[in-house]
Amino acid sequence: MSNYVKNENGYNKIKFNAKAVKEAYSKSKTQKKHPTSVNLPEDVITKLKRISLQMGVPYQTLMRKLIVEGLAKQKSAA
């Protein structure tokens, strides 16, 4: 994956724990996954791609991580 963006908007500062994302990516490679599709607005996909590019991970991996974290928060809140 390239570490550059096509315009200045892609260089916005965003703070994420890249180590945690890469660990989630590593774990996701070992666990069996079930393919699914989700219809999301284009602007959401664009934001995900911008953030994932800055973090150096694929955007689908970032989406998976955000979903898993959201489910964990729901479980702990219940």
Domain boundaries, the chain: 41-78
Q: What tens digit of pLDDT does each residue of 3-32 get?
A: 655 666 665 666 677 787 778 777 766 667
32 vs 59: which has the higher pLDDT: 59
The pLDDT value given to residue 59: 93
**Residue 50 confidence (pLDDT) above 90:** yes
Question: What CA–CA distances, in Å, run from 30 to 24, 37, 43, 50?
Answer: 10, 21, 31, 26
Percent of the chain with pLDDT over 70: 74
> What is the spatial distance between Cα 32 and Cα 28, in angstroms, rounded to a whole number?
8
pTM of the full structure: 0.58
56 vs 19: which has the higher pLDDT: 56
